[in-house]
Each structure stands twice: as structure tokens, then as C-alpha cells.
Chain A
Amino acid sequence: MVDAGDAETEAATTDDAETDADEERTDGGERSQTHTIRLELVDKPGELLSALHPIAENGGNLLSIFHERGNLTPRGHIPVEVDVECPPERFETIVDALRAEGVNVIQAGAERYGEELTLLLVGDIVDTDLSDTLQRIESSTDAALADLSLSAPEGRGGASSARLRLATRTGRSDEVFEHVRQVADEKDLNVVEPLVEVAE
């Protein structure tokens, strides 16, 4: 599974790997890690394929591609999210190669998702179109659904619950909660938010 929440620690390891290459080797070779790359593509045939070439050519293992068709970036391009598995030291090479090919890399690796939030949705989740709910939560906030569990013991029409794990950018959790509350309000669902204790 793609664990975007570890992105921050991955970034730290990337730096360490460059400076402490010896230590890395004594550990029995290169360790592969998952990285998220966010690209924007021009909407024409072959664009996606040519954007993926530099990844394979530089030893990256393509785990998933999230092609947000129908969603346009402010510049009118199509946002694409790619999860790549590779040793930390190859990651920079891949990003450089993508840029050399003229692919617009918006964010790479750790920058995008640094935090994870777990929350519950409660109410008539099934009949209020769960996939639409999730899509709207993801689309208008900078949050990606990392995990979902649903419990609907009473079947359709009864009170059910969903547990969502959202990956989001560090420091953006307030915005995400606010947006989730909005979406839930419209569908008459309740949100159980985590208690986030902020030490001042």
C-alpha cells in the first residue's frame, strides 16, 4: 500500500542516503521506497506514455497512476499523480529526467503529503453516494484518500459509519476538516474528527 504519510521520513532518508552512502551499503544494498510525483500534462495523445518513460528508464518501479481526467490545473493541464518505488538515491535522477523531457513536475516526493488524518463519517453514508462524497472530499482539498473502512450493519438506509484516512500536506489539516464538514453537512452526515492537541 502507498503510505503517503511516511513521505516526510522518506525525505529525511533521501538526504541521509546521499551523505551516508557507506552505511546504506552495509545494510545489504539499496532499499526501495515509495515516492509520490505530481505532474501536469497537456491533453493530447501519447503525453502520459512519454511522461512515464523516464521513470522506467531510470529504474523506478511504477506502482500507480492517478490520472485526474476532467480535473484541470489552473493552466488548463491535466493533473496526474504517480507513485513510484525506487531507492532513495534514484529518485532525484528520475525527477531530473522527467524535467529534462519537458514534463512539468509540480511536486515530488515528500513535499506533497506530510500528514495523515483519520476521521469518521456517520449517518446514511451509503444512500448519500459514498463515492461522490469521497470524490468531493478529495477534489476540493489537498487531501488524498489513503484508506477507507465501511461498516453498515443495518444495511441501506440505516446509520452506517466510514473511517477515512486522508493524506494531506503538513499544516493544512484545518482546511481539510472544514471542507469535510461542508461536504458532510450537505449530505446530512456527521463527522467525528480526531482530537488534535496542539501544544503552543
Chain B
Amino acid sequence: MSLRLAVIGAGAVGRSVVDLAPEYGHTVTALADSRSAAVDPDGLDAATVFDRKDAEGTVGAADPEDALAAEYDVLVEVTPTTLGDAEPGFSHVKAALERDRHAVLANKGPVAERYADLMALEAESAGTVQFEAAVGGAIPILSTIADFGPGQITAARGVLNGTANFVLSRMAAEGLGYEHVLAEAQDLGVAEADPAFDVEGTDAALKFVILANVLGDEDQIYSLADADVEGIRSIPASALDLAAEDGRTIRLIGEATADGVRVGPRLVPQHDALAVTGTRNIVQFETVNAGQLHLSGRGAGGPETATAILSDVGRLE
């Protein structure tokens, strides 16, 4: 079945959703960035809207609110993650659910910071909320939990921030210092100009907060404030050397367990499954009856995240 999508957010992920939607048989009827919108009930042309955005800085002549009011079946929320009240992302999702439409998020804010509010809105709506893309990009992490059943998984651990993992694995491989490798990562586009969100552990913590909420079956709701978070800025090259002498390495590891959410640099064996290199992500589930399960892949990027969004859209049909 073909669904009509309203895409809110026109960054790398929003662009990829608009680009790939036809491949999955869907139509994008509205697209908004922070200043403008383009609406067409018959479907937008990706080239037209993005040529305009690149040339004029707007995706169309309409206001962003017009995209929220447009005809659609699924609202795709891909605006940048915000903390605290998670606005404006939360309001976008709320508007969709109140119209009994579905909402699919890549934005971590509403799911990590306002999970209870989000679930309450969903309970009142005929629409469904999906957010596979918020955790681990293309890796089907949340759908695996849904398949197993949250009660069958006792803990989730792993690497869910590619930037921090790139920095640590390069430092370990080349014996270089943090600042040097970070500058290299920024040149390569792996790290942003302001890398704080990644290297301070916030991004990974939000993902493990979401995992804790999903695994917790709504018994206990977490937000970023409940997580114990430490970043990688203080790790000198000498620490990685000492770890390597002992057959170990350091990774920014997140944990969502019965004890809560914790993210920080940890010692892991060099050949451990969790010691992935580069920007690769991995998550390890501790299952009740089937031992450990590992899922690994690309955790960020426009097309990667868009595939998770479009898989979520597919689950709504």
C-alpha cells in the first residue's frame, strides 16, 4: 500500500527520505524545514524542492505550519534532536497523533526526554508512533526487541555513537592524541564542528535511555537526567597504550540494564565483539533463553537513517 508522508525536517536525513520514498512505493505530500514548506497532494518532486533549497534556502513558498496541516498518513519527524521539552519535535508528533495519523521519528528528543507523554498521546490516538531510526541508524534494533519481546531481553550494551568510536579507535590504532584525531574526524565529516553532543556521551546516552524505556515495558520511565554519562575528552593516548599492552582497548560503551542507564569509556578486550572500529555501531542484547545477540552496522548517515524510517513506515501498512 502506498502511504502519503509529511516530512518535517530537511537535513541530510529528510532529504534521503524524500529521495528514497518512491523506491518504497510511498508519496511525499509535504516537506518542511524551519522556515518554509512545500505541499503537493499529488507528491513532491525531490529534485525541484532541493534545488530550490540549495539556491534560495527554502523548500517552497508555504509556511512550515502548512506541512503539518497537509494531507498525509504518516508524519516523519527528522528535525534536530533537542533536550528537555524536546520541542519543536514533540509538538510536530503531537499534531499528527491528535489527527489520528501515524508518526515516525528519527529525532531522539521526544522519545528519550518525554517518553511517558509520547506514550500517553499514542494511547489516545488511532495513530502509531515508531522510532527505529532514533537508535542505531540502519540497524534494526528496536524491531528486534519487538520481535523477541522486551521481557525476553535483560540488558542492552554497546557502541551507538560512531564519532566517539572513530576517535577512540583511531587513537588506539595510530597512537595519536585526542585533539589530533578529533580534528581529522572533523575534516572527514565524521565529527561536527561542535562535537560536544557526541564526545561528551550525550548522543549515546539518549539512545540507551530510549532502549531502557523500550525494554522497561513502561514500568520505569527514564530520561537523560537519569543516565550516568561520561565522555571521552579526558582519555589520553597513554591510556589506550596501557590498555593495548594488556590486550584491551577503550570504547565509549552504553548500557541499559536493570540498574539503569550508563554511558562512559570502558575497557574491553581488543577482540571483543563490542570493540568495533571506525564509525561502526554495535549493540549486544542479553537474552533470557538465547544467550547473547549482536547487531552491527551503520549507525548514522542520511540514506542509512532513511532506510530505518522507511522500514518503520512499512510496518504501519
Which residues of chain A have a CB within 8 Å of any CB of chain B? Answer: 118-120, 122-123, 149, 151-153, 159-163, 190, 192-195, 197, 199-200
Contacts and interface: CB of A to CB of B under 8 A. Distances in A.
Interface string B240-256: 01110110101001010
B40 to A, nearest CB: 50
A13 B171 CA distance: 43
Contacts of A118: 246, 248, 267
A200 B154 CA distance: 7
Nearest to A189: B234
Nearest to B257: A198
A123 B274 CA distance: 25
B244 to A, nearest CB: 10
B219 to A, nearest CB: 16
A197 B286 CA distance: 9
Contacts of B266: 192-195
Interface in B15-63: none
Contacts of A153: 237-238
Nearest to A147: B246
Given A122-B235, A195-B274, A161 B267 contact: no
Contact of A123 (B157, B234, B286): B234
Contact of A151 (B235, B242, B268): B242
B239 A161 contact: yes
A161 B178 CA distance: 14
B309 interface: no
Interface in B137-184: 154-155, 157
Contacts of B155: 200
B260 interface: no
A149 B242 contact: yes
Query: Which of A123, A153, A162, A163 has the most B CB atoms < 10 Å from its CB?
Result: A163
Contact of A160 (B236, B248, B274): B236
Contact of A163 (B235, B243, B264): B243
Contact of A122 (B234, B274, B292): B234
Given A122-B235, A162-B242, A163-B245, A192 B268 contact: no
Contacts of A122: 234-236, 239
B89 interface: no
B12 to A, nearest CB: 32
Nearest to B242: A163
SS class, residues of chain A in contact with chain B: strand
B265 interface: yes
Given A118-B248, A192-B266, A199-B292, 12 more contacts: A119-B267, A120-B239, A122-B236, A162-B242, A190-B235, A192-B267, A194-B266, A195-B157, A197-B157, A200-B154, A200-B258, A200-B286
25 contacts: A118-B248, A118-B267, A119-B267, A120-B267, A122-B234, A149-B242, A152-B238, A153-B237, A160-B236, A161-B238, A162-B242, A163-B243, A190-B234, A192-B235, A192-B266, A193-B264, A194-B267, A195-B253, A195-B266, A195-B272, A197-B157, A197-B286, A199-B291, A199-B292, A200-B154
List the 9 closest A-B pairs by CB distance, nearest first: A151-B238, A161-B239, A159-B236, A163-B242, A161-B238, A194-B267, A195-B266, A190-B234, A200-B154
A143 B258 CA distance: 26
A97 to B, nearest CB: 39
B160 to A, nearest CB: 14
Query: Which of B154, B236, B246 has the most A CB atoms < 10 Å from its CB?
Result: B236
Nearest to A188: B234
Contacts of B236: 122, 159-161
Nearest to B255: A195
A199 B274 CA distance: 16
A149 B248 CA distance: 14
A194 B239 contact: no
B176 to A, nearest CB: 12
Contact of B245 (A119, A149, A159): A149
A111 to B, nearest CB: 27
Contacts of A162: 242
Query: Which of A122, A123, A195 has the most B CB atoms < 10 Å from its CB?
Result: A195
A165 B154 CA distance: 29
Contacts of A190: 230, 234-235, 265
Contacts of A123: 234
Interface in B45-103: none
Contact of B267 (A159, A195, A197, A200): A195
Contacts of B274: 195
Nearest to B250: A192
Contacts of A192: 235, 239, 243, 250, 264-267
A159 B248 CA distance: 20
